[in-house]
Amino acid sequence: MALTILVADDEADNRAIIAAALAASGYRVCQARDGGEAVESALREAPDLILLDMSMPGVSGWEATERLKAMPQTKEIPIFAFTAFALAGDELKVRRAGCDGYISKPCIPKDVVALIKSRVGQ
Protein backbone atom coordinates (compact mmCIF):
# COMPACT_ATOMS: atom_id res chain seq x y z
CA MET A 1 0.00 0.00 0.00
CA ALA A 2 1.28 3.47 -0.89
CA LEU A 3 2.49 5.74 1.87
CA THR A 4 0.44 8.90 2.36
CA ILE A 5 1.95 12.38 2.36
CA LEU A 6 -0.08 15.44 3.39
CA VAL A 7 1.00 18.61 1.57
CA ALA A 8 -0.27 21.80 3.23
CA ASP A 9 0.42 25.11 1.49
CA ASP A 10 -1.79 28.14 0.84
CA GLU A 11 -0.25 28.53 -2.64
CA ALA A 12 -2.12 26.20 -5.01
CA ASP A 13 0.78 26.07 -7.49
CA ASN A 14 3.22 24.97 -4.79
CA ARG A 15 0.83 22.26 -3.63
CA ALA A 16 0.20 21.04 -7.17
CA ILE A 17 3.89 20.85 -8.13
CA ILE A 18 4.95 18.98 -5.01
CA ALA A 19 1.86 16.74 -5.05
CA ALA A 20 2.51 15.79 -8.68
CA ALA A 21 6.15 14.90 -7.94
CA LEU A 22 5.14 12.80 -4.94
CA ALA A 23 2.33 11.04 -6.82
CA ALA A 24 4.71 10.27 -9.71
CA SER A 25 6.98 8.61 -7.14
CA GLY A 26 4.19 6.34 -5.92
CA TYR A 27 2.95 8.23 -2.88
CA ARG A 28 -0.70 8.85 -2.09
CA VAL A 29 -1.06 12.61 -1.62
CA CYS A 30 -3.59 14.60 0.42
CA GLN A 31 -3.67 18.38 0.20
CA ALA A 32 -4.64 21.19 2.56
CA ARG A 33 -4.87 24.96 1.97
CA ASP A 34 -4.10 26.08 5.52
CA GLY A 35 -3.11 24.84 8.93
CA GLY A 36 -6.67 24.18 10.05
CA GLU A 37 -7.31 21.96 7.02
CA ALA A 38 -3.96 20.26 7.63
CA VAL A 39 -4.96 19.29 11.18
CA GLU A 40 -8.37 18.03 10.00
CA SER A 41 -6.80 16.07 7.14
CA ALA A 42 -4.14 14.57 9.41
CA LEU A 43 -6.82 13.31 11.79
CA ARG A 44 -8.88 11.90 8.93
CA GLU A 45 -6.13 10.48 6.68
CA ALA A 46 -3.38 9.53 9.19
CA PRO A 47 -0.57 10.44 6.77
CA ASP A 48 2.91 8.96 7.04
CA LEU A 49 4.47 12.44 6.78
CA ILE A 50 3.25 16.04 6.65
CA LEU A 51 4.88 18.71 4.50
CA LEU A 52 3.68 21.94 6.11
CA ASP A 53 4.11 25.53 4.93
CA MET A 54 4.83 27.55 8.04
CA SER A 55 3.51 30.90 6.74
CA MET A 56 -0.14 30.33 5.89
CA PRO A 57 -2.98 32.74 6.66
CA GLY A 58 -5.48 31.75 9.31
CA VAL A 59 -4.02 28.80 11.17
CA SER A 60 -0.28 29.01 10.48
CA GLY A 61 2.06 26.08 10.10
CA TRP A 62 3.48 26.97 13.50
CA GLU A 63 0.09 26.66 15.18
CA ALA A 64 -0.80 23.53 13.20
CA THR A 65 2.47 21.90 14.29
CA GLU A 66 1.70 22.70 17.91
CA ARG A 67 -1.79 21.19 17.60
CA LEU A 68 -0.59 18.09 15.75
CA LYS A 69 2.20 17.36 18.22
CA ALA A 70 -0.21 17.79 21.15
CA MET A 71 -2.72 15.16 19.96
CA PRO A 72 -2.09 11.47 20.64
CA GLN A 73 -3.42 10.51 17.18
CA THR A 74 -0.94 12.72 15.31
CA LYS A 75 2.01 13.41 17.60
CA GLU A 76 4.22 10.72 16.02
CA ILE A 77 3.66 11.83 12.41
CA PRO A 78 6.86 13.43 11.06
CA ILE A 79 6.35 17.05 10.02
CA PHE A 80 8.66 18.78 7.57
CA ALA A 81 8.51 22.58 7.65
CA PHE A 82 8.21 24.01 4.15
CA THR A 83 8.98 27.72 4.08
CA ALA A 84 10.22 30.55 1.91
CA PHE A 85 11.72 32.33 4.90
CA ALA A 86 15.07 30.56 4.99
CA LEU A 87 17.05 32.67 7.42
CA ALA A 88 19.91 31.77 9.71
CA GLY A 89 18.52 29.93 12.69
CA ASP A 90 15.23 28.96 11.01
CA GLU A 91 15.99 25.24 10.96
CA LEU A 92 16.63 25.29 14.70
CA LYS A 93 13.44 27.31 15.23
CA VAL A 94 11.25 24.83 13.32
CA ARG A 95 12.84 21.87 15.09
CA ARG A 96 12.15 23.48 18.46
CA ALA A 97 8.54 23.97 17.33
CA GLY A 98 8.25 20.21 16.84
CA CYS A 99 9.11 19.75 13.17
CA ASP A 100 11.27 16.81 12.17
CA GLY A 101 12.75 18.35 9.03
CA TYR A 102 13.11 21.58 7.11
CA ILE A 103 12.77 22.37 3.40
CA SER A 104 13.30 25.89 2.11
CA LYS A 105 11.42 27.29 -0.89
CA PRO A 106 11.96 27.58 -3.74
CA CYS A 107 12.99 23.96 -4.05
CA ILE A 108 13.43 21.31 -6.69
CA PRO A 109 10.54 18.81 -6.48
CA LYS A 110 12.79 15.77 -7.02
CA ASP A 111 14.92 16.92 -4.07
CA VAL A 112 11.81 17.11 -1.89
CA VAL A 113 10.85 13.58 -2.97
CA ALA A 114 14.38 12.33 -2.19
CA LEU A 115 14.28 13.89 1.27
CA ILE A 116 10.88 12.37 2.00
CA LYS A 117 12.05 8.96 0.73
CA SER A 118 15.02 9.16 3.08
CA ARG A 119 12.61 9.69 5.97
CA VAL A 120 9.68 7.36 5.24
CA GLY A 121 10.83 5.16 2.37
CA GLN A 122 9.00 3.93 -0.74
Please tell me the pTM assigned to this model: 0.90
Residue numbers in the chain where pLDDT is lower than 70: 85-90, 121-122
**Which spans in the chain are helix H?**
12-24, 35-45, 61-70, 90-96, 109-120
Q: Residue 12: which CATH number?
A: 3.40.50.2300
Q: Determine contact, residues 22/50, Cβ cutoff 8 Å.
A: no
Query: What is the model's pLDDT at position 55?
Result: 86
Query: What is the model's pLDDT at position 121?
Result: 67
Q: Is residue 44 part of a domain?
A: yes
pLDDT in tens, 12-35: 999 999 999 999 999 999 999 999
Q: Is residue 102 part of a domain?
A: yes
In whole angstroms, what is the distance from residue 70 CA to residue 112 CA? 26
Domain that holds residue 111: 4-115
* Count of structural domains, the chain: 1
Q: Is residue 120 part of a domain?
A: no
Q: Is residue 34 part of a domain?
A: yes
Q: Is residue 121 part of a domain?
A: no
Query: What is the model's pLDDT at position 85?
Result: 62
